[in-house]
Each structure stands twice: as C-alpha cells, then as structure tokens.
Amino acid sequence: MAGVALFSAHSSAADNTPSGDELLKVVRQSQALQDLSKLKGHIRNDNTGQDIPMELTMKEGVVRFFLRNPNEIINLEMDNSGSKLTRVAAGGKSQISQSIYAEHVRNTDINYEDLSMRFLYWPHAKIIGEDTLSFQKCWIVRVTNPDGRGPYGTVDAWVAKSSGAMMKMEAHNAQGKKVKQFLVRKGQKYKGAYILKQMRVESFNPADGSISGRTYMDIDDPEDK
C-alpha cells in the first residue's frame, strides 16, 4: 500500500511523458530507495473506533509494519522480480499466501493485497490521463490484473510528475466496479523527502457505489525530525 506506495520519492519522474511501465518502475524504485528510521503512528477504523498503534520502518527495499495489541510484524519485501509479504508473530516467521490477500488486516479497510502493492508489478500499464491533486500535477496510470488472483481487476494510480510519489489509488473489481480508494491527505518533510502524514482508505459497495468503510493511517511527527 497505498502503501501504498505510501511515501513520496527522492527521485524525479522524467520531464517527458514516460510509458506506463516506466512510470511504475519509478514508483517501485522510489520505494526501494527509502531509508526511514522507526516511525510511530496509528491505523484507525473510522466506523468502529478501533485504533491500532504501529511502528513503520523502511530500509533496503523492505517495509516493516509493526502492529501492536497483539504484537505482529508484517514485512513487505520488494525487488525487481516482485513483492512478497511475510508475517512475524508468536509462532515465528511465515510467508503470507496470496490466497488470503483479499482478507482485511485487523478488521480495517486495508487488506493484504493493499500492503503487497502487487499492482506495481502488473505489466502493460497505460497512462490514461492527467490530474492535479493537492497542487501536485499527476499522471494517471492504469494496470490490469494479469492473473485474476486477488480482489482487484484493474487499478488506477495518480503519480506526481515532480517526484514519482503515488498520491491516490482507485481499485476496481473484475466487473469494473470501484471497491477501494487510497488518498494521501497530508504529507510531511523528513530527511530531505516528503513522507506520509495521513492517508485515507475507503471501501466501496460495488452494487451502488456507496462508501462501506473508512480507515485512516496516520504517521506521527518523527522524533528526529
């Protein structure tokens, strides 16, 4: 995730319009290059009031989510070949199977597919338009699920032209109905880069397009800011 591709990049997207695949490569590389110390924050379910303390670290292509109450670590490992999710809990470390990627993490609107950011590796990405979000000019890139696994059939991502940061993501099911949206609402500067301050995650009822759930991921001000 929204993850999401959650963070702004150090690198810059090219001045000329890149291909969709080139643009996703920029986003992937920006994630792998991030080196962030332990950040503290919360995942908050707006519907139930559930609040999950968490810590977040990014280093050498690995995003580490440390969820509290109960303690659980979810690692997102990203390289040129793809992404992989592993879980570290009381029973030890294990890989998270793609068969459960549609399941929700701690009853929030974030699922394991979101955390995996698997769509960043889907081939034949296409730029379908441009938009401006939070004063950031963005390309909109669309990817289609090549294998049919997971809850999403297509994903549209808004990528900032100036930084390669992913500002927004909309996911649709196999029937083309919108089922998920990530939106970066606030950012903050940290160690020369802009990182996430708040992201809103919304689930949608595909039958009528209504919002069925809303979750926020908030990152506290870094202690060494």
CATH code for position 41: 2.50.20.10
Question: What is the distance in angstroms between the CA of the first residue and the CA of the last residue of the chain?
Answer: 24
- Structure token digits, residue 117: 């950011």
| pLDDT value, residue 127 | 97
Quote the CA–CA distance of 158 and 140 in Å, as a whole number.
5
Mean residue pLDDT across the chain: 88
| pLDDT value, residue 29 | 81
Which range of 58-67, 79-88, 175-184 scores highest in mean pLDDT? It is 175-184
Element (H, E) at 26: helix 20-33
| pLDDT value, residue 17 | 82
Q: What percent of the chain has pLDDT over 90?
A: 66
Nearest to 216 by CA among 34, 62, 41: 41
Nearest to 140 by CA among 132, 153, 130, 155: 130
This model's pTM is above 0.85? yes
Instruction: Give a yes or no: residue 219 inside a domain.
Output: no
pLDDT digits (tens, 9 = 90+) for 64-94: 999 999 999 999 998 888 999 999 877 788 9
Domain assignment of residue 55, given as a range: 20-211
| pLDDT value, residue 33 | 65
Instruction: Give a yes or no: residue 146 inside a domain.
Output: yes
Indicate the number of domains in the chain: 1
Does the pLDDT at position 19 exceed 90? yes
| pLDDT value, residue 8 | 43
Quote the CA–CA distance of 178 and 24 in Å, as a whole number.
21
Instruction: Give a yes or no: residue 1 inside a domain.
Output: no
| pLDDT value, residue 15 | 52
Instruction: Give a yes or no: residue 96 inside a domain.
Output: yes
Instruction: Give a yes or no: residue 11 inside a domain.
Output: no
